[in-house]
Structure 1
């Protein structure tokens, strides 16, 4: 059933161009295909050989001083392959379907899955994700319920929770990090949190073995890009254009300058 709910062709990006297809109203899914992988460290293809679900994989990787995200990107880089990073708004469909949906995304070729935590004021999002977030909130999709549903999955691909700092603060930094870890998340993206204001969050995340991923944009200064590069673990999230998220018919030509 999950495969019927997902439009796997919502949007496919490459650095040389972008092919668009209508996005699914039933479930907001955005697909990014990166043509160049940043040097984020890590060695060996540990993650793909780990069995027993994401938490078991993460524990082994932590013992090896490598995160699941670093291992995944390192493995792809060693094979000369690109990473397909998928985003969805959790709770847009009933949460008891989330494990099946995540499994379908993995089976469909996702290398990393970003699980969006809905927020009432997603100011960085365009109409598609705004609408999916509103539907999810109307369905009663709380952070705790989403993370509990995530914990029922048994995936080999890393999961990343993505949301806004207000949500993290409301739950509590330490508690949110603990819940994300218990749910099998390998890292977090708090899209409105900048590195120089994130010491407490980085400490809470590190205590649970979570990567902290920050954003750079076309308007970022050299100093900000350096801060983000030094402060991020797992990968750096590059915003390819100014404005809110949403479908376009091409990728800006200057995105490679970042």
Structure 2
């Protein structure tokens, strides 16, 4: 794998860990220290969203978080300025910047957005709500800028969609565990994802990360047994941020404790080793 590859530092038999957070919640003044702490805790990736309103794919926890960040005036320029303060400091954690097409990317312009991100302390891009008509232009712009892409798909996506997502992913392939809103879990659990992960593995060399409904170490271990390269934890992590603000606690310490809890079950029997 390239030196800057996502989830490349995993030990044998270990599953990678990604946390989703809205930039600006907690406030951007806290973000540099928070990223340093997550790096120290060996979180592999932070999916850092430029907040946007009224997401139909997000549950109430993440939507409240985005609303708080937007109320604080958080925008793309401020997020990238904040990330620049930790440029070169993070030895383990990669930053995947998530931006919404309608709210952030289209007003700036696709080419300008990609070029701006490529100049920032960002390791990969995930564009939410990208229209099919601009997908090719997005891939070309990212490739020209040397910016890895996070592609997404669902277990029940059409074969053409699975193939396209697998071919597009250059940072990692995000397999969304089921149709629904963030925070909800697949009704049949994660074990049934094994066959889909096996199929995707034949289509891409990118790591395969799985999210939606990952709340604790038991779900992380289940995804390891299903063959995933990484688990993505979103609503559960954002809920820690929310509770810390409500209780006036140290969010950096609380998230570090949460990460330690996520890693407390060692998935020693990944499916590939059985």
Asked if these proteins are the same fold (TM beyond 0.5), I'd say: yes
Q: Distance in 1 between matches of 2:132 and 2:16?
A: 25
1:194 Cα deviation from its structure 2 partner: 6.4
1:240 Cα deviation from its structure 2 partner: 0.3
**What are the ranges of 5 or more consecutive residues in structure 2 without an aligned counterpart?**
197-274
1:29 maps to which residue?
none
Q: Distance in 1 between matches of 2:151 and 2:141?
A: 15
1:236 Cα deviation from its structure 2 partner: 0.4
Q: For 2:29, what is the secondary structure of its paired residue?
A: helix
Report whether the alignment pairs 1:100 with 2:33: yes
The within-5 A match list for 1:96-135 is: 96-135=29-68
Q: Distance in 1 between matches of 2:19 and 2:26?
A: 16
Q: Distance in 2 between matches of 1:128 and 1:88?
A: 11
Q: Distance in 2 between matches of 1:80 and 1:254?
A: 20
Matched length: 191
Q: Distance in 2 between matches of 1:196 and 1:105?
A: 37
Once the two structures are superposed, residues 173-220 of structure 1 have per-residue CA deviations (whole angstroms, 9 ceiling, x without a partner) of 122222222221111111323677411111222222111111111330
**What are the ranges of 5 or more consecutive residues in structure 1 without an aligned counterpart?**
1-41, 47-67
* Residue from 169, 172, 188 that aligns with 1:232: 169
Quick one: structure 1 residues 213 and 249, their matched pair in 2 at CA, closer, same or farther if it must change by over 3 Å? closer
Q: Distance in 1 between matches of 2:161 and 2:137?
A: 19
Q: For 1:100, what is the secondary structure of its paired residue?
A: helix
Quick one: structure 1 residues 236 and 195, their matched pair in 2 at CA, closer, same or farther if it must change by over 3 Å? farther
Contact 2:178 2:186 in 1 (8 A): no
The within-5 A match list for 1:138-149 is: 138-149=71-82
Contact 1:144 1:179 in 2 (8 A): no
Which one is further off, 236-245 or 211-220? 211-220
Q: Distance in 2 between matches of 1:180 and 1:247?
A: 30
Q: Distance in 2 between matches of 1:140 and 1:115?
A: 16
TM-score (norm 1): 0.68
TM-score (norm 2): 0.64
Contact 2:177 2:186 in 1 (8 A): no
* Residue from 90, 99, 107 that aligns with 1:155: 90
Once the two structures are superposed, residues 76-96 of structure 1 have per-residue CA deviations (whole angstroms, 9 ceiling, x without a partner) of 27x343211111110112212
Q: Distance in 2 between matches of 1:184 and 1:163?
A: 15
Contact 1:114 1:159 in 2 (8 A): yes
